[in-house]
């Protein structure tokens, strides 16, 4: 039987389900097609579980260092089983919340595999969705006025060096570990590589990072990435830049893997119990029926979209990781909201991808919004750049976490805020304020005149803006 909808969303990850809620709020008859569980990568394999494990690792570190705060703890230990259990409970609880939300909004959920059909007996336009189920169940056919593709992404493999789920793993496998390895080599020092390097190191695993580029975290402001590298190395993480793995030189033994790493200076052999590959994520565009449409993908396999996230077929939109923008849950939900308002006939405000904040949950953390210093200079801005260290912030001393800094980039001519970049503990909790300043087109002067409560880490935003205005107090 064919069921008509105003909008069908293919993929019920964070991008998909939040978009569905917005569509329902606008009075649209809405359905989600999801092959696994509502919440997708972010809830089940990404943002939430990794942050839950990172929290366990940071508690372990705090307890180990408790004596510095006058607290005596006799015996410490890290229990991976308990940490995984806690992570799973958090996922379950949030998953229940999402399911209730979707019920409350009266959104239909089809728990099957969705494929886009071309023009057919159901509709003269492409975009009907066939929902396939495991077993004998007959397909459902959905006939929507609009489709939003939100099928997300999956870990990218290095050809010839594919994950086996045991000795060579991806972040998906790492979330299911039952025991901790004694050592791990992480290939790729991007966002996922850094977060897992932090987790494994902080729970006592020997960690080595292999990065092809000359900078870890290639998309991050150079100075911030350098500070991050310095602090990770100081913790004891080994980092090789300009280095790649030779897939033909990987030898798997019973308890360890030997791999050859090629650098400009020659090659070295490393041995570790496990290898984690984190070299980016590919769009999930295979087998969703794109060939039945005029939708175009770019050379990297991401779906091409315009500023309202419409594909070449204007009634079909693509949001989130699948369109190759910023692969972040909050980017996907923002894009979904723009798409659904646009298809409803509104003219949503659209932001540049640079105005979407970035958060990297290592220890320390990185948080940023806007242009990096390098990008601003390349765009021809004459920049005013200032930095303030957490050493000059009282609350950082109280916390015992004084590493890192905040950096502000202003347009020298107009004093407009171009970017704020931070590295240090808890900076991901501060970036919302910088995001607001950017949204309201804040200037250096305005940011310096805001009142920041004392003692809080947020004072670093005021201090760095004061420095830019030539009125710094501390630091």
Please identify every residue annotated as catalytic.
454
Shortest Å, Cβ 267 to ligand NAD: 13
Coil, strand or helix: which one is 33?
Answer: strand
* Contacts (CB under 6 A) with ligand NAD, residues 205-224: 210-213, 218
* Contacts (CB under 6 A) with ligand NAD, residues 152-181: 158
Answer whether the bond into residue 364 is a cis peptide, omega within 30°: yes
Closer of 212 and 450 to ligand NAD (Cβ): 212
Closer of 188 and 475 to ligand NAD (Cβ): 188
Tell me if 431 contacts ligand NAD by CB under 6 A: no
Shortest Å, Cβ 453 to ligand NAD: 27
Tell me if 189 contacts ligand NAD by CB under 6 A: yes
Binding residues with ligand NAD: total (CB under 6 A): 26
How far is the C-alpha of 402 from the C-alpha of 261, rounded, in Å?
35
Burial class (CB in 10 A: 0-12, 13-18, 19+), 298: exposed
Q: With DSSP H G I counted as helix, E B as strand and the rest as coil, what are the percentages for the chain, rounded to 5?
A: 35, 25, 40
Shortest Å, Cβ 388 to ligand NAD: 24
Coil, strand or helix: which one is 341?
Answer: helix
* Contacts (CB under 6 A) with ligand NAD, residues 232-261: 244-245
Binding to ligand NAD by CB under 6 A, coded x per residue (else -) over 264-283, reads --------------xxxx--
Closer of 50 and 403 to ligand NAD (Cβ): 50
How far is the C-alpha of 403 from the C-alpha of 390, rounded, in Å?
6
User: Of the ranges 71-79, 80-88, 192-200, 343-351, which one interacts with ligand NAD (CB under 6 A)?
Assistant: 192-200
Burial class (CB in 10 A: 0-12, 13-18, 19+), 64: middle
Distances (CA, A) of 391 to 307, 363, 365, 427: 42, 17, 16, 14
Looking at the DSSP bridge assignments, the partners of residue 35 are: none
Tell me if 99 contacts ligand NAD by CB under 6 A: no
* Residues listed for the chain: 475
Give the tokens for residue 418.
């171009």
Closer of 189 and 305 to ligand NAD (Cβ): 189
Shortest Å, Cβ 320 to ligand NAD: 11
User: Of the ranges 54-62, 358-366, 369-377, 409-417, which one interacts with ligand NAD (CB under 6 A)?
Assistant: 358-366
Closer of 279 and 418 to ligand NAD (Cβ): 279
Tell me which H or E stretch contains 229: helix 222-235
Closer of 280 and 348 to ligand NAD (Cβ): 280
Shortest Å, Cβ 45 to ligand NAD: 10
Tell me if 184 contacts ligand NAD by CB under 6 A: no
* Contacts (CB under 6 A) with ligand NAD, residues 103-162: 158
Distances (CA, A) of 104 to 35, 40, 66, 118, 173: 21, 19, 45, 32, 33
Tell me which H or E stretch contains 108: strand 108-110
Bridge-based pairing of strands 30-33 and 2-10 is parallel
Closer of 342 and 354 to ligand NAD (Cβ): 354
Alpha helices in 65-109 (DSSP H): 80-104
Closer of 191 and 417 to ligand NAD (Cβ): 191
Shortest Å, Cβ 363 to ligand NAD: 13
Tell me if 52 contacts ligand NAD by CB under 6 A: no
Helix count and strand count (H, E) for the chain: 13, 22
Shortest Å, Cβ 190 to ligand NAD: 2
Tell me if 327 contacts ligand NAD by CB under 6 A: yes
Answer whether the bond into residue 455 is a cis peptide, omega within 30°: yes
**Which residues contact ligand NAD by CB under 6 A?**
46, 158, 187-193, 195, 210-213, 218, 244-245, 278-281, 327-328, 359-361
């Amino acid at each position: 039987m064919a069921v008509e909808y105003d909008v069908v969303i293919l993929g019920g990850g964070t991008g998909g389900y939040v978009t569905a809620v917005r569509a329902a709020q606008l009075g649209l008859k809405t359905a989600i097609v999801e092959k696994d569980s509502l919440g997708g990568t972010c809830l089940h394999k990404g943002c939430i579980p990794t942050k839950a494990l990172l929290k366990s690792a940071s508690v372990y570190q705090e307890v180990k260092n408790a004596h510095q705060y006058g607290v005596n703890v006799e015996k410490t230990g890290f229990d991976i089983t308990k940490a995984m259990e806690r992570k799973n409970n958090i996922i379950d609880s949030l998953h229940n919340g999402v399911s209730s939300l979707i019920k409350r909004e009266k959104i239909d959920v089809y728990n099957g595999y969705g494929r886009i059909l071309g023009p057919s007996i159901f509709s003269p336009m492409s975009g009907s969705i066939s929902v396939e189920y495991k077993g004998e169940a007959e397909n459902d056919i959905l006939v929507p006025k609009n489709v939003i593709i939100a099928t997300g992404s999956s870990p990218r493999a290095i050809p010839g060096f594919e994950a086996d789920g045991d000795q060579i793993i991806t972040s998906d496998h790492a979330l299911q570990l039952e025991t901790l390895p004694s050592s791990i080599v992480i290939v790729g020092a991007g966002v996922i590589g850094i977060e897992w390097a932090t987790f494994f190191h902080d729970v006592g695993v020997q960690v080595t990072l292999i990065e092809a580029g000359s900078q870890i975290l290639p998309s991050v402001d150079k100075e911030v990435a350098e500070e991050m590298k310095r602090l990770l190395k100081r913790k004891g993480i080994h980092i090789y830049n300009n280095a790649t793995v030779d897939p033909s030189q990987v030898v798997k033994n019973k308890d360890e893997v030997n791999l050859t790493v090629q650098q400009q200076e020659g090659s070295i052999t490393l041995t570790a119990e496990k290898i984690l590959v984190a070299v980016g994520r590919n769009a999930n565009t295979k087998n969703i029926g794109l060939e039945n449409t005029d939708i175009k993908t770019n050379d990297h396999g991401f779906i091409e979209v315009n500023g309202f996230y419409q594909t070449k077929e204007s009634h079909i939109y693509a949001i989130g990781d699948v369109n190759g923008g910023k692969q972040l849950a909050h980017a996907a939900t923002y894009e979904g909201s723009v798409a659904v308002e646009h298809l409803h006939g509104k003219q949503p405000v659209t932001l540049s991808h640079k105005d979407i904040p970035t958060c990297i949950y290592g220890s320390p953390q990185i948080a940023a919004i806007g242009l990096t210093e390098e990008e601003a200079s390349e765009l021809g801005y004459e920049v005013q750049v200032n930095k303030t260290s957490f050493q000059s912030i009282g609350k950082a001393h109280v916390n015992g976490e004084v590493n890192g800094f905040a950096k502000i980039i202003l347009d020298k001519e107009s004093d407009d805020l171009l970017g704020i970049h931070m590295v240090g503990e808890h900076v991901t909790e501060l970036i919302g304020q910088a995001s607001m300043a950017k949204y309201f087109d804040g200037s250096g002067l305005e940011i310096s005149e805001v009142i920041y409560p004392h003692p809080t880490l947020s004072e670093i935003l005021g201090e760095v803006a004061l420095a830019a205005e030539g009125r710094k107090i501390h630091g």
